Structure 1
Amino acid sequence: MKWQTCYTLDSFLKKGEQLAKQCEVITFDLFDTLLVRRIHDPDLVKPSVARFVANKAQRNGLDWTWPRVQTLRDEIEAGQRQETGKRFEDHEACYPQFMGELLKQIFQKKADADLLSEVTDYELMMENSMLVPRAEVVEWLSALHAQGKKIYVLSDVYLPASHLKRLIKHAGFLDSVDEVVSSADSFLAKASGLAFPLLKDRYHLRYESWLHVGDNPFSDGLRPSEKGIKALVLRDSSEKFRKAVVKRYYNYSQGQPFWKGRTVQQLMLPMEKESNAFSPMRVYGYNVLAPLLAGFLQGVAEDCLRQGIKRLYFFSREGWMLKKVWDEIVPFLFPELPIPETSYLYVSRMALAGASCAHQGLIRQNADIVFLPTGNRDFRDVCRVFSLKPEGFAEILNRFDLQVDTVLSGHHEGYLPENIQQFHRLLEDDEFQVEVKRQTIDANKALQLYLQEQRFFEHEHVALVDIGWLGTIQRFFFEAVSHRKETPRCQGYLLGATRGIEYPTAYNNCIHGMLYDRDRFNLAGSTILYAQDLFEEACRAPHPTLNGYQLTPDGFTLEFRDQHDATGQAEKEQDEFYKELQEGIKEGSRQYGIAASILGFKFKDIQPWLHYLLVSRLAFPKADEVATIRHKHHLDDFHGHHSPSNKKIKGRKALWDNSRNTLRWNPLLRLKFFLRLIRDRLRE
């Protein structure tokens, strides 16, 4: 009997329907028929397991590297196949046997059933992460089962049937399968044709009413047809092309670092029906922001491991999403490694600014930060930012010929240089500083209580993670706690460090920009400056902004912004606007973690591709993309409500501020802004 071959999925399903009508039993090959792999080579899963085992061994004081573990696994598996070949026609292996032997040689007496189960669970998790149900074939299988057909899954693989059932259950169609049969259990495989008589005798089947479907012309075509079984083979040209693309990118990545990140993103792509519900907003979160944020946090985790940091705190509202990205990638990228414990801290510039003055007063450098935003104008803005009451300074201001509305910012009409000089003298006045400390001490005490609750002072070295950009939050945070002897060393990690104002770097307090840091020239990375607001809004938490810390009779309380005013309503609207974007970020981050783990790539390996993403999607975006993704509202409590003179802010319009039509019909606009970026970076 000659088997039949189809080269498209449609023709395969159509022919399968015809043949199935004549049959009572249908057996399905599993891999590349019911389940397709994201990777071109199934053996690429093995190194990730070797890294898991090596990490576990090192934590037990054993000197094992993952290449050494992988080599030993290959040797044990090959030896088992040779032994099997002496007794059976098929040179098959059985995972529990060779993995048990591997663990015994590495862990000696510590190798028990629990350890084997733990390693098996991890390997099956990684297998599942690379497997996608071929939706239409699975739907056909379920329909056949509903018609009363006997459905069996038959596979030549080293995983026993019990393991395959776990893969099928994860794929969601185990209820439509009567039984699963693996060559690892009997050492009788489809390749020799001996699996078919085994199945026939075990389940009392008849060859003449049997249809077998698979993807291998030899094992799934020739061998069953020799027994008189109807056979249908799928040679899917589109699937072969997809795997060829993955293989090419992977091969390129072995010699050219740029392609490492491209390979990761190729493995991240949704397959089959995974992308059906993706809106443009979700796609952008998945394809653009997810790899950027996940790569950033992979770099943070790697540096924490290098420095031995045991505790990490996510800062500000953006830290809420960053923590979710962290939780998605860490289980895959760093199994069995001493990754820091994490917490999300409720902090903000506004909440910390006042608390930072309680012991050091209002220093000049911090006061100057107030006038970086063009909306801030006078002493009332200083008081708003640092949670001060202007009336408490009336007499002191008069001594320096200042009023609460004296213009102190060069962005506004009425500014006089002598006024800012008088303001700087005011900052040196002891009476002024005493009043500043008096007004801010309670907020500082409340902050200390909050940090004690978060066990902040129990550590010698902590990591602080934030989006960026000036490091203002960490600056105020450290100044608020630095008076305590038990304050830990604070290592700050920012997505981008613009350093528009000098950061007071010290051994026990420093920041480091991961994708961009102005202290390290990086033209591609600097394109993150095109859309800083985008990252802030896309990552912010769905809760109100923290306004401050307040002492209460029994401790402290966190004071949040009232969401019933116009600004609060705008925040809610913005949260809803970016909801799908954030879903895409979380889903994409998980796939990033899986892909980078499978490939064994580090942050530095993927960095060139992340820089390409920044340039292509921020400096040279599509007009429709900007119009769709650009935020509707951007809340910045630091920014006041004064309107600067147009003359002062002329020429500050950014690329992403332009309309859809301007972006669409001015082809040189993007190049103009990019040349301006190059000029600005060279002048720094």
Structure 2
Amino acid sequence: MMLMQTVSSLFPTDGAGRHALRLAFLRLYGLRPLDSGDDPRLTTMSSLTVDAFDTLVTRPVYQASDVFLMIGVILRNRRIISTTASEWKIARHSAENALAIAVAPREVLLDDIYKELVSRGVLSAADARQAQDIELGLEHKLSRPIAANIDLVNAFESRGGSVDVLSDTYLPHDDVCRLLSQAGLHLDHTSIHTSSQSLTTKRGGELFRHTLGKTRGVASQTLHVGDNLHSDVWQARAAGLAAAPYLTGRPNRYEMTLRRTLPQPALLGSIMAGSARSVRLGRVFPSLKQQAIWTTSASVVGPLLFAFVAWCLKEAVRRGLKTLYFLARDGEVLLKVAKTLLPTCAPHLTCRYLHVSRRSLHLPAVVEMGSIEREWILDCATERTFRSLLSRLDIEPVEFLKFLPATSPLQTKAPDALLSPADVTEMAYALDYQPVCDLILERAAQRRATCIDYMTQEGLLEPGNIGIVDIGWRGRLQRSLCRAVMTEDPGFAKRLHGFYIDLTSQPSDSGSFSTFSTESGDRSFSWAKRGPLFEIFCAAHHGTVLGYKTDLKGRSTPLLASQDNPVAESWGLLVQQDAVVAFSREAAETFNLAHINPLDHTTALAKAACDVTRLFVEQPDRAEGDAYGSFLHAEDEQHERFEEMAGMIDFNPVSLARRLTGHHPGRRISFWPEGSLARSIPFWLRGSALSMFKSMPGRDT
């Protein structure tokens, strides 16, 4: 028993180093966890027995008993009980535990539990039948497959191996069979053995012997897989079976953080954490990189974007906004998340996708040549060529140069050479020439005409208050949108509100702004300075918006750099978006079953989202660092220069010195330094290195 408690205390820990120590401890006692279908024991054993709950199927709640809370909510809403959901959970638990003691070692049955509740006066006989039906119905609605183990069992059986499922459960046998069948398990019902049918249990050891006797299985040739250390390991071994603990289904560090950060109401944290886990376990990939993307998206990106969008919808409803526009390209996945929430949380709000970009809005917004316009034109100029800098103004070098004096150094500048600081100074002088200003304003007016056509078509010039959603940083896109539209509707800024994850500035005369970072309440974490990571989280399937054109039917359409996004798609974009949407749908549906509106809890959700995001950013493991660090990110407006988000660090002193002193063709060491460290340092040093980096003097989070 002491050993069991010691090992159990190790299970909740996380991180690559501690995980390795945990596995070493288990193996010291002959306990080798089952992590994949490639385990050699699956080829040497002739028979396989598998636990059902939290090994083959799971639920989108943190722990099984939280289902009782959901039942209590439903019973109270239907006026079957007058007590709170928490009080119902206690009564339901108490009845089950009392019966378990009374009939031990026999299994307790669901019928008996509800008869006990009737005898205690908790329910009438008629209400007990309703409540029991509700519990069974909810179990079916909440059951989710653990894909890796379903596939493992089906593959073992298809190779001719003998497979039996063993489950300690009070649920009726037929219901357990249906749950496993709907999860995709290809086993005959005679191969499923439940304690509710045999009245023997795994925890007492009898169910193993009962099953082996019934199937004539040989214990020494049988491997048992399950998540419970006592029932599935110690008792299996006592019955002569080999045992393989299944640990992957236990909550990971992000799921534990979600549950811990959202203590009240109890189901809020349970559903967020449980939804993350059920989605994480719901798909399996052959590639470690794809699996890491799926896991991170289910556990971190999904909860973050779900909380952000829930806050946007709540604020939009509170402000009486008519339409919420999700700005390309970050808004693509955000709109998909919104669509999972709209039917139950904000059915009267219209949400749409708006094709915009820095490239499609900044030039149309130029109605004068002021300091802001000059700042935009010359932004990061030394990282651009003469041609690429002018391309943002729709001007060719030859057009530009004809207005400059013959003595200007730019006259001899190679169009495709990078601009030097001296060249940028000459460019700034050139912007003072009136003919150059006139040319820029002319091209801006041409771009603005097609831009206004598109905005009119999409409804932005219709009366009523509207909102826009983007991840943010400097607020310049909203300013440009305002400047362009206000040439047609001078009052547009008064009816426009922007929702962002974070902003470093809020331009004046550009509408109003709100930030999710303020809602989270944690100002010590700088969301904007981690901008490239959030841009990966919101990567889209199409290329950037170059501008607008009119098609043959007279309809204004966006002109895209490409119809797809091959760089992001080859990395794993589809996997990420699928996981984010799967989490959002899972959480939204489960909240609806529990009669919880997430829009009523956006402050708590924002805090939890901040905590899991910060944990990922500051303490990534190797798989996360490799997966997200390898994403090719383009920071520039024209998306011409791609670099790894978190490249490997070469700790050779000469190479590192070249990086730090700028004598390197690349940019700074990393967009995400912690990711680079996670990729470059051995696991036994990784935790210390990341902690030291976090506490470095003068380092800004």
Residue identity matched to 2:345: L
Distance 2:256 2:398 in 1: 69
Secondary structure, in 3 states, of the residue corresponding to 1:92? helix
Distance of aligned partners of 1:562 and 1:73 in 2 relative to their CA distance in 1, 3 Å threshold: closer
Given the superposition, is the C-alpha separation of residues 535 and 677 from structure 1 closer, same or farther in structure 2, using an over 3 Å criterion?
Answer: farther
Give CA deviations for 1:196-241 in whole Å, capped at 9, x if unaligned: 6xxxxxxxxxxxxxxx88645399589x89x999999972133589
Query: In structure 2, what is the Cα distance between the partners aligned to 1:132 and 1:477?
Result: 46
Q: List gaps (5 residues or longer) in structure 1.
A: 1-6, 21-27, 96-100, 106-112, 183-189, 197-211
- CA 1:317/1:52 → structure 2, altered by over 3 Å: closer, same or farther? farther
1:296-321 superposed Cα distances (whole Å, 9 cap, x missing partner): 44133224214415633322233334
* Residues 471 and 501 in structure 2, CA contact (< 8 A), matched pair in contact too: yes
Q: Using the alignment, how far apart are the partners of 1:123 and 1:606 within structure 2?
A: 27
Q: Which residue of 2 aligns with 1:367?
A: 374
CA positional deviation for 1:396: 7.3
Aligned equivalents of 1:577 and 1:175: distance in 2?
37
Question: 1:236 matched to which residue of 2?
Answer: 232
Whole-Å Cα distance in 2 between the matches of residues 477 and 507 of structure 1? 8
Of 313, 332, 344, the match for 1:320? 332
**2:578 counterpart (586, 605, 612):** 586
Q: Which residue of 1 aligns with 2:513?
A: 510
Verify the 8 A CA contact 1:627 1:660 in the aligned structure 2. Answer: no
Q: Which structure is larger by alpha-carbon Rg, 1 or 2?
A: 1
Shift of 1:350: 0.9
2:276–2:298 CA contact under 8 A, matched in 1: no
Counterpart in the other structure of 1:536: 535
Number of the residue aligned with 1:342: 351
Task: Note closer, same or farther for the CA distance 1:140–1:631 as it changes in structure 2 (3 Å cut).
Answer: closer
Counterpart in the other structure of 1:311: 323
> In the alignment, is the contact (CA less than 8 A) between 2:292 and 2:624 conserved in 1?
no
SS in 1 for 2:543: coil
Counterpart AA for 2:636:
D
Query: What is the identity, as a one-letter code, of the residue corresponding to 2:557?
Result: T
Aligned pairs for 1:115-194 (under 5 A) are 123=138, 127-129=142-144, 134-135=149-150, 138-139=153-154, 156-157=170-171, 167-173=179-185, 176-177=188-189
> d(CA) in 2 for partners of 1:94 and 1:549?
70
Are the equivalent residues in 2 in contact too, given 1:34–1:137 (CA < 8 A)? no
The offset of 1:244, in angstroms, is 9.2
What CA distance in whole angstroms lies between the structure 2 residues aligned with 1:616 and 1:602?
21
Question: Secondary structure at the residue paired with 1:312?
Answer: strand
Q: Distance in 2 between matches of 1:662 and 1:243?
A: 25
Distance 1:142 1:590 in 2: 29
CA distance in structure 1 between the aligned counterparts of 2:660 and 2:166, rounded to whole angstroms: 77
Q: How does 1:276-287 map to 2 (within 5 A)?
A: 277-284=286-293, 286-287=295-296
Contact 1:468–1:496 (8 Å) recurs in 2: yes
Q: How far apart are the structure 2 equivalents of 1:48 and 1:351?
A: 48
Q: Does 2:40 match 1:41? A: no
1:245, 1:650 → 2: CA distance? Answer: 41
Q: Tell me, yes or no, if the aligned pair for 2:57 and 2:146 is still in contact at 8 Å.
A: yes
Tell me if the contact between 2:522 and 2:610 (Cα under 8 Å) persists in the aligned partners: no
* Aligned residue number for residue 202 of structure 1: none
| % identity of equivalent residues | 14
Length, aligned pairs only: 578
Q: Is the 8 A contact 2:329 2:539 kept in 1?
A: yes
Match for residue 557 of structure 1? Answer: 557
2:605 aligned to 590, 602, 608, which one?
602
The residue number in structure 2 matching 1:613 is 616
**Equivalent position to 1:469, from 470, 473, 493:** 473
Q: Distance in 2 between matches of 1:317 and 1:78?
A: 49
Q: Is the 8 A contact 1:468 1:495 kept in 2?
A: yes
> Quick one: which of 548, 570, 589 aligns to 1:577?
570
Contact 1:349/1:473 (8 A) holds in 2: yes
**CA apart distance, 1:398:** 7.0
Output the TM-score relative to the length of structure 2: 0.60
Instruction: List per-residue Cα deviations over 1:90-136 (Å, max 9, x = no partner).
Output: 233799xxxxx99x99xxxxxxx9xx99x999945761248668538
Residue 608 of structure 1 aligns with an amino acid whose one-letter code is D
Cα distance, 1:349–1:89 mapped onto 2, change above 3 Å: closer
Once the two structures are superposed, the pairs formed by residues 98-497 of structure 1 within 5 Å of their partners are 123=138, 127-129=142-144, 134-135=149-150, 138-139=153-154, 156-157=170-171, 167-173=179-185, 176-177=188-189, 215-217=202-204, 235-237=231-233, 238=245, 264=273, 268=277, 274-275=283-284, 277-284=286-293, 286-287=295-296, 291-292=300-301, 294-308=303-317, 309=321, 311-324=323-336, 330=340, 336-338=344-346, 340-357=349-366, 360-375=367-382, 383-387=390-394, 412-414=420-422, 420=428, 423=431, 436-458=440-462, 460-482=464-486, 483-484=488-489, 485=491, 489-497=495-503
How many angstroms apart in 2 are the aligned matches of 1:322 and 1:181? 44
Shift of 1:368: 0.7
1:349 Cα deviation from its structure 2 partner:
0.9
**What corresponds to 1:636 in structure 2?**
636
Cα 1:45–1:385, aligned 2, differ >3 Å: closer, same or farther? farther
Q: CA deviation at 1:139?
A: 3.8
Q: Contact (CA 8 Å) 2:52, 2:165: kept in 1 or not? A: no
Residue 70 (structure 1) aligned with residue 85 (structure 2): yes
Q: Equivalent residue for 1:678?
A: 698
C-alpha deviation, 1:146, in angstroms? 11
Does the residue aligned with 2:634 lie in a helix, a strand or coil? coil
Structure 1 residues 294 and 397: alpha-carbon distance in aligned structure 2, compared to 1, 3 A threshold: farther
Cα 1:382–1:435 change in 2 (3 A) is same
Cα drift, residue 615 of structure 1:
1.7
1:171-206 CA-partner distances (Å, limit 9, x unpaired): 013773379999xxxxxxx66xxx66xxxxxxxxxx
Distance 1:38 1:411, change over 3 A: same
**In the alignment, is the contact (CA less than 8 A) between 1:29 and 1:220 conserved in 2?**
no
Distance 1:661 1:120 in 2: 45
Show the counterpart of 1:91. 113
* Shift in CA distance, 266/558, structure 1 to aligned 2, threshold 3 Å: closer
Q: CA deviation at 1:486?
A: 6.3
**Cross-structure match for 1:200:** none
* C-alpha contact (below 8 Å) 1:128/1:167 kept by paired residues: yes
Q: In the aligned structure 2, how far is the partner of 1:32 from the partner of 1:639?
A: 45
The amino acid of 1:549's aligned partner reads Y
Question: Bigger relative contact order, structure 1 or 2, given CA contacts below 8 A and separation 6+?
Answer: 1
Cα RMSD of the aligned pairs, angstroms, is 6.6
Instruction: For 1:491, give the aligned amino acid.
Output: H
Residues 145 and 183 of structure 2 are in contact (CA less than 8 Å); yes or no, is this contact kept in structure 1?
no
Q: Secondary structure at the match of 1:514?
A: helix
TM-score scaled to structure 1, two decimals? Answer: 0.61
Q: Which runs of 5+ in 2 are unaligned?
A: 1-30, 35-40, 103-109, 118-122, 234-244, 599-603, 642-658
Letter in 2 for 1:575: A
